[in-house]
Amino acid sequence: MILLPCPWCGSRDAGEFSYGGELTPRPDPRTATREQWRDYLYLRDNVAGWTTERWYHRMGCRRYLTVRRNTVTNEVTAP
């Protein structure tokens, strides 16, 4: 079982959350080029190791949170 540290509810089972994917900075839509925007839409680092990502506490407080997770071992820490 993977526990995620919800800042509101404490450590909860990952099954209560939806995965939001790795944190990718959004370019400014007014100034971004087509390439930058497509990179933002499609490209991910897909790291084998520690990564920073968003989760949504769907079955709890419905808050978004940021966690650090190791994608090889699934260890989790707060950011």
> Nearest Cα to 10, choosing from 78, 74, 79?
78
Instruction: Determine, following the binding rule CB under 8 A, whether residue 35 of this chain makes contact with another protein.
Output: yes
User: Are 33 and 3 in contact, with CB atoms under 8 Å apart?
Assistant: no
Instruction: Determine, following the binding rule CB under 8 A, whether residue 14 of this chain makes contact with another protein.
Output: yes
Instruction: Determine, following the binding rule CB under 8 A, whether residue 26 of this chain makes contact with another protein.
Output: no
**Residue 41, SS3 per DSSP:** helix
Q: Which of 74, 77, 78, 79 binds another protein (CB under 8 A)?
A: 74
Residue ranges that bind another protein, judged by CB under 8 A: 1, 14-15, 18-19, 21-22, 34-35, 38-39, 41-46, 48, 71-74
